């Protein structure tokens, strides 16, 4: 089969895109650095300041601080005035980069990208072997980054939008309900719900020991440990029955036997109980989009290897789509399935 001659304009356009992607990839490391060293926070709190002033307030190397600041300017992550050589964050930049309690904070999520680079050699080996990498085998930055990426999303949507979208669930939680979170990670969603619905009781399950330990510490710090507990167990082995609400936040596609896990969830629900689970929005077929680039990439490195490591029947990946998720729910015995809410990146599904 003859290939057509290279179109120079298309070639240049692709090279321009690759150059931009490389720049973004490299810049992501400076976001991790700025977050870990408190540079964004100090820049936001100090207002307009020079590089030496920021270095002095943080106790960091002045030359490296100046280079880091210029990297932020080049990427649009801070502002700069050449005449006075001062740098500052706009309120919008600060809300995303310097304020961990902000519902739009994203800097902590850069650790997820960082983890994928730490784990590249491990993923290459998985390609050449059985494809499996357990969640626990990844770099620590993945666990911390996942918590810090999703927690602001939960603060922005979980109690305000998602719970009210479920059929009658908000009133039940206020009266007092039993709630489980399967694949709970470090406990962010349950802690938020426990603060909002003090009459209810919450249990988180996750097979990753270190995440459960972190979740217990986080619950104690949030002063909700009296109504939130955590257990180390897998998605099909968790204990308990008659839960009014079982949640699964962006974890179903990482399980090797999604139907088996969904079946166990159905068995553990009370007669009028609901299963709420979130999954990434997906296009009907692969196409160019920021969402697709994000989720197919993380699925290649994390989600699909996680499912393959479990030796089960499923390896859906992070872009399984609503039709496939509906199939899983119906195969597990759920008869009612609907999309209750969505964000630009995720859908909130309800099954009973």
User: Tens of pLDDT along 5-31?
Assistant: 999 999 999 999 999 999 999 999 999
User: Tens of pLDDT along 54-68?
Assistant: 999 999 999 999 999
- Domains located in the chain, CATH noted: 8-98 (1.10.10.10), 112-351 (3.40.50.150)
Does residue 315 surpass a pLDDT of 90?
no
User: Tens of pLDDT along 98-128?
Assistant: 999 898 999 998 999 999 999 999 999 999 9
Does residue 313 surpass a pLDDT of 70?
no
Taking the C-alpha atoms of residue 277 and residue 256, their distance in angstroms, rounded to an integer, is 17
Average pLDDT, the chain: 95
3-state secondary structure 113-179: HHHHHHCHHHHHHHHHCCCCCCHHHCCHHHHHHHHHHHHHHHHHHHHHHHHHHCCCHHHHHHHCCEE
> What is the per-residue pLDDT for 131?
93
Does residue 352 surpass a pLDDT of 90?
yes
> What is the per-residue pLDDT for 195?
97
Mean pLDDT to the nearest integer, 264-285: 94
Distance of CA 129 to the CA centre of its chain: 27
């Amino acid at each position: 089969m003859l290939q057509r001659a290279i179109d120079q304009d298309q070639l240049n356009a692709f090279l321009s895109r690759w150059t931009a992607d490389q720049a973004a990839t490299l810049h992501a490391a400076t976001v991790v650095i700025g977050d870990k060293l408190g540079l964004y926070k100090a820049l936001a709190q100090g207002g307009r300041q020079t590089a030496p002033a920021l270095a002095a307030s943080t106790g960091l190397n002045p030359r490296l601080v100046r280079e880091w600041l210029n990297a932020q300017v080049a990427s649009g992550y801070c502002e700069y005035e050449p005449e006075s050589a001062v740098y500052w964050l706009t309120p919008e930049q600060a809300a995303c980069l310097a304020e961990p309690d902000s519902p739009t904070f994203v800097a902590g999520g850069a650790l997820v990208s960082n983890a994928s680079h730490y784990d590249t050699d491990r993923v290459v080996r998985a390609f050449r072997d059985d494809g499996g990498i357990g969640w626990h085998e990844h770099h620590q930055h993945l666990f911390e980054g996942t918590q810090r990426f999703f927690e602001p999303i939960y603060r922005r949507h979980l109690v305000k939008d998602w719970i009210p979208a479920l059929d009658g669930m908000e009133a039940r939680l206020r009266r007092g309900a039993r709630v489980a979170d399967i694949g709970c990670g470090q406990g962010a969603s349950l802690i938020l719900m426990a603060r909002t619905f003090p009459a209810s009781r919450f249990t988180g399950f996750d097979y990753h020991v270190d995440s459960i330990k972190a979740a217990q510490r986080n619950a104690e710090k949030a002063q909700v440990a009296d109504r939130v507990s955590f257990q180390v167990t897998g998605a099909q082995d968790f204990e308990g029955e008659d839960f009014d609400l079982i949640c699964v936040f962006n974890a179903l596609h990482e399980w090797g036997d999604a139907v088996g896990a969904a079946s166990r969830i159905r068995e553990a629900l009370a007669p009028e109980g609901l299963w709420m689970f979130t999954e990434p929005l997906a296009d009907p077929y692969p196409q160019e989009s920021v969402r697709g680039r994000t989720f197919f990439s993380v699925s290649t490195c994390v989600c699909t290897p996680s499912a393959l490591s479990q030796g089960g029947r499923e390896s859906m990946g992070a872009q399984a789509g609503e039709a496939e998720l509906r199939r899983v729910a119906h195969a597990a015995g759920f008869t009612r399935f609907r999309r209750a809410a969505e964000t630009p990146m995720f859908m909130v599904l309800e099954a009973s």
